[in-house]
Amino acid sequence: MIKRLISIIIIVLVTVVSVESVNAKEPLKANVIQNIMDSAIDKEGPGMAVIAIHKGKTVFHGARGMANIELNVPLSANTVFRLGSITKQFTCAAVLMLEEQGKLSIDDPLSRYLPSFPTDGAQVTLRQLMSHTAGLNNYTNNHETMEKRIQVPVSIEEMLKLFSKEPMLFSPGEQMQYSNTGYVLLGKIIEDVSGVSYKEFIENEIFKPLGMSSSFYGGRQIVKNRAMGYSLDETGVVNASVIDMSWPHAAGALISNVKDLAVWNEALRSGKVVSLKNYHTMTEPTTLNDGTKVPYGFGLSPSKINKYKSIGHGGGIPGFSTDAVYFPSEDLFIAVFANSDRLDPDSLTLKVAAEILNISFPSFKPVAIPNKQFKALLGQYQVNSNSIRELLFEDEHFYTQRDGGRKLEVVPVSKSTFHYPGTLDYLVFEKNSSDQIEMKLYGRLAEKPQVALKIQR
């Protein structure tokens, strides 16, 4: 639900990862993935569970780290995590299931179901709620709500009253802006149309029929193998802040494990949940009013990783961060769940994908080069007409910062290359034919970089 933080904990240790269900024909790749996890996760701290299924065969299914640090309980391959925004694809599937039952249409106006909800006179559709193009505010950006209210239970009616005080951000269909508010509204509509709670609908119409026995609507109930959630502050690893799961609701309240999510992915893409036509709609870019396409469907985001089309989504919620991606052409599914909101499942997903798909990337080893040799590279670079990325040197460390946002540390690995620690992302600085310095960002295993030109002062 809440966007994950980018900071990453990387502690290099050599120990053994818990591995289950590894196909006997893939021992070498499984061992490499085990080594990747060994290098990325502290076995004594919060950790991650991973599953990778390639062409119907489980290449890797394992975990590393602690499910409960205080009680010294390790994570297992079957540990249950909060999903965060991966919940959204279940919500969209539920809406499409109701459409296929003839109980609603995704092109219905919101006013048909919630007539008193204000939209500044604009007509918002369910389709726009699912694709984040409705123009609604995002309640998780409200500091007052997130800092002072989310610890205590709330009803949907109370949330609707709170949300109704926020003005529209733009006209429906004009642009895309992520909105958890819109998904809570979808949850309310699912309840009103189906006649049962969102929890009952998801558990009885999706989880139970698919045999997803470790998946539930999160709450205060006792759940076998559930992980504790952790965060990080100036003192180190700490218990995550409290959030009552009535707040994320249909935007992020579900819990599951990586094995169940693999079951879900196979069922969804095979037409066992919604029609193949509707699945296609879920996984295709959305078209805005002006014809522009944005990389989001219904609870799933189509993108390109290296040369491969991918379909995926991540999640972040206090104490947890998650990532899952499917490569249709390669029939490869990878899910990585972490019980910390300061770990980075996305980077581990990419490393696992690179290993299975034989995607090469540079090795990143810090080099001892006098900092003064990088002086010419420092400064601002024009990414596009509206965006600038800057290379900074502060307190004996290098950082990049885009448009005044969060500063991210980069480490020199050559005279012209900087690496973002814990990721596969890196920067290469080169002079073009006009003798101008270019900053080339290679992100998410990209074949071609994003190029920014140094601004001359």
**What confidence tens digit (pLDDT) does each residue in 209-267 have?**
999 999 999 999 999 999 999 999 999 999 999 999 999 999 999 999 999 999 999 99
Tokens standing for 125?
A: 């559709």
The answer to whether 14 touches 38, Cβ cutoff 8 Å, is yes
% of the chain surpassing 90 pLDDT: 87
Rounded CA-CA distance 314/260 in Å is: 16
Helix H or strand E encompassing 316: strand 308-317
Residue type at 181 in one-letter notation? T
Q: Residue 25 pLDDT > 60, yes or no?
A: no
pLDDT for position 92: 98
Residue 127: CA atoms inside 13 Å, Cβ hemisphere, count? Answer: 15
Average pLDDT over residues 116-139: 97
Question: Across the chain, what does the average pLDDT equal?
Answer: 92
Helix H or strand E encompassing 249: helix 249-252
pLDDT for position 386: 87
The rounded Cα 170 to chain-centroid distance in angstroms is 24
pLDDT for position 27: 64
pLDDT band (50, 70, 90) for residue 16: very low
H helices within 377-454, ranges in order?
Answer: none
End-to-end Cα spacing for the chain: 42
The CATH architecture of the domain made up of 371-454 is Beta Barrel (2.40)
Helix, strand, coil in percent for the chain, rounding step 5: 30, 25, 45
pLDDT for position 146: 84
Where do the structural domains in the chain lie, given as residue ranges? 82-356, 371-454
pLDDT for position 439: 98
pLDDT for position 24: 41
Tokens standing for 33?
A: 């993935």
Q: What is the pLDDT of residues 394-408, one digit of tens each?
A: 999 999 999 989 999
Tokens standing for 46?
A: 């919060």
Q: Do 82-356 and 371-454 agree at the fold level?
A: no
Average pLDDT over residues 148-160: 94
pLDDT band (50, 70, 90) for residue 22: very low
The answer to whether 401 touches 393, Cβ cutoff 8 Å, is no
pLDDT band (50, 70, 90) for residue 148: confident
Q: What is the pLDDT of residues 80-94, one digit of tens each?
A: 999 999 999 999 999
Residue closest to 209 by CA, chosen among 201, 199, 198: 201
Give the position of tokens 């090469």.
360
pLDDT for position 21: 36
Residue closest to 392 by CA, chosen among 364, 6, 406, 422: 406
The residues that bridge with 214 in the sheet, in sequence order, are none
Assigned CATH for 82-356: 3.40.710.10
The more confident residue out of 253 and 371 is 253
Rounded CA-CA distance 4/7 in Å is: 9
Residue type at 203 in one-letter notation? E
- Nearest 5°: the CA angle 128, 126, 318 is 75
Lowest mean pLDDT among 192-201, 327-336, 418-427: 418-427
Rounded CA-CA distance 413/393 in Å is: 15
Residue closest to 37 by CA, chosen among 25, 28, 49: 49
